[in-house]
A and B are shown apart, each in its own frame.
Chain A
Amino acid sequence: MTRNRPDPLRVEFHLLDRQIVDLDGRPVGKVDDVELTRDPDGTYRITALLVGQYVLAERIGGLVGRLLRTLARRRGGGAPEPLRITAEHVQRVGSDVRLSLRAELLDLPPSETWLRDTLIARIPGRAVPGDEVVRASALLGRPVYDAAGRRLGKVTDLITRPDEHGRERTVAVLVTPRRRGRLLGYEREGQHGPWLLARLAAFVHRGTREVPWHEVRWKP
């Protein structure tokens, strides 16, 4: 990703469920999930955006997710492959996620997946076999612990910063001791009023704090 991104970038906040638009501003889909690849030093880097009803369904989970999954399956007819947009093609992350590609390149009939595999997938950033590749939804909501084994809470967001190669790498985790969940966006700086709702959101989100990545343990 280029400089056009919020600093720091929060995966759930700034990426998940945002509208993706192409170079001309045409809608491509929503960020239904984010693909992360684990590096040997334990940090994850963002490798791709995943778009697809099946992916969304898996993320939502529960009864609703199952229903969506059945609907998605029938429509696709076959394998519900998500649209995978590698991170290099993201030009800007703002109120929407703008790509440096045109939508036609992405709107491919299933038979022409070779184009997608050769063109988009060959570009650096593609996960090398052997790396642990996860989806952001797998990390979000997981309980985390500190070095002493004490429970810190549940992961509510992943905070990333660009590394020396310009790739987004996780640097910290946002942890909440209570229910995680979005509440209308009151965690962001820009959202102030109305006063009543802001107070309510502050109450619900109390105790949320940032924990550096290296201090976090995924097992007690």
Chain B
Amino acid sequence: MKKVLAVTLGILTAIGGFVDIGDLVANAQSGARFGMRQAWVVVVGVIGICVFAEMAGRVAAVSGRPVFDLVRERLGPRIAMTNLVGSYLVTLLTLTAEIGGIALTVQLASGLPHVLWVPLAGFAVWVVLWRVKFELMEQLFGVLGLALVVFVIALIALDPPWGSFADQLTHPGPPSGENWSTWGYLAVSLFASALTPYEVFFFSSGGVEEKWTSDDLATERSNTAVGFPLGGLLGLAIMGCAAVVYEPAGIEVDQLSQTALPVAVSLGKVGLVVVMIGFFAATFGAALETGLSTGYSIAQYFGWRWGKLVRPREAARFHTVVLVSVLLGTAALLTTIDPVQITELSLLFSAVVLPLTYLPILVVANDRDYLGEHANGRVQNVLGVTFLILILIAAVAAIPLMILTGMGQS
């Protein structure tokens, strides 16, 4: 019974924890612009993260080493340093976006401008990371994140044109009047919102800290294999709601309030309250994860002591990096830059550094010295290489598409 409870909690945490500010923005933007035509991108992205999270989890469980730890010994210190810089900066950018998301959510609840809430949000994130028992927070925010299920209910209540959705699903290209560059740009963003780099750092580091063994493999596989797809479903529901409310009128989404609006249209005040809880849980939870991940990447490169369960005194350098990162993110937001724009940028640059994160995972998962009989089989390798190719395409296309479309405008 206890095991069932633990597994359920794990799955629930994975579902609720899957969605972050990137998903909230990218799915709504895509839904408003292209209806459900890019739903396939979400599906592919979710499969991708399942494949790689499983590999990273397996490496953590069997070898007892988190992935970033192994990057330096695989690539050599110089190339690994480049990898580190890229990964760290993108994770920092994502952290900034998440803190911005927290502030935007509080703005939605209070009516007061988000900039006022930025310092409080940053401080709250840091206090929780410094003081509060992490397991509790992780589970709390994971389960609260399930509030986003309200999007599924709202979608159904909006009585969407299922027929036309089905039609869009079978004709995935851009509709008339739109070009492939904008389609490509939003597709890359959607892809990056599902395959977030920090998620894998966090997942594998957490696995090592919790001392997973090969006995835990089945549980972790179920968490990701069930949790992540259901999380992706929430993303699709966000897309669908935006598709129903905005696409027919040709309205494009560039504010977080627009993402929430369809729920209010459909379910009224109650729905709105639930969605705000969901937004808060998603962004706060993700801020905690990205905050820790900034520390993981640097600590694991230099070999310092690290851990979310470790007391700050015993892993001072790790915690200092986390604190400095939260400060930098908060400071950046105080320049009144639009958090949604930061989110779009974080997605784009995530796409660019994805190969840096995923290539080492694929390689180490094949190493029999580390994984023994648990090394990748043929199926996992085929999937892994296929996704690596997709990731490389996205990485190479990201910046040109950004410039070509002026960040998705045209």
Contacts and interface: CB of A to CB of B under 8 A. Distances in A.
- The reply to whether chain A is a binding partner of chain B is yes
Interface of A: 16-20, 26-30, 51, 53, 56, 59-60, 62, 64, 95-96, 181-182, 184-185, 188-197
Nearest to A190: B369
Contact of B367 (A56, A188, A195): A188
Interface stretch (B73-81, B323-331, B399-407): B73-81
Interface of B: 63-65, 69, 72-81, 301-306, 359-360, 362-364, 366-370, 375-376, 381, 384-385
Contact of B303 (A16, A20, A64, A190): A20
Q: Interface SS of chain B: helix, strand, loop or mixed?
A: helix
26 contacts: A17-B73, A27-B303, A27-B305, A27-B306, A28-B303, A29-B303, A29-B304, A60-B77, A60-B81, A95-B64, A182-B79, A184-B75, A184-B359, A184-B360, A184-B363, A185-B73, A185-B363, A188-B367, A188-B369, A190-B367, A190-B368, A192-B366, A192-B375, A195-B381, A197-B362, A197-B363
A188 B364 CA distance: 12
A56 B74 CA distance: 16
Contacts, number: 89
A185 B303 contact: no
A182 B303 contact: no
A190 B78 CA distance: 24
Given A53-B302, A194-B366, 12 more contacts: A17-B72, A26-B305, A27-B306, A30-B72, A30-B301, A60-B81, A95-B369, A181-B76, A191-B368, A193-B381, A194-B381, A197-B363
Contact of A193 (B72, B74, B376): B376
Nearest to B82: A64
Q: Which of A28, A53, A194, A195 is packed against the most chain B CB atoms within 10 Å? A: A194
Given A184-B74, A189-B369, A194 B304 contact: no
A29 B318 CA distance: 13
Contacts of A17: 72-73, 76-77, 80
B74 A182 contact: yes
A13 to B, nearest CB: 9
Contacts of B362: 194, 197
Contacts of B384: 194
Contacts of A188: 367, 369
Please list the 5 inter-chain residue pairs (A to B) with the smallest Cβ-Cβ separation, ordered nearest first. Answer: A190-B369, A30-B303, A190-B368, A182-B76, A29-B303
Contacts of B78: 60, 62, 64
Nearest to A194: B381
A59 B302 contact: no
B71 to A, nearest CB: 10
A16 B80 CA distance: 13
A176 to B, nearest CB: 14
A194 B385 CA distance: 7
Nearest to A61: B78
A197 B384 CA distance: 12
Nearest to A103: B305
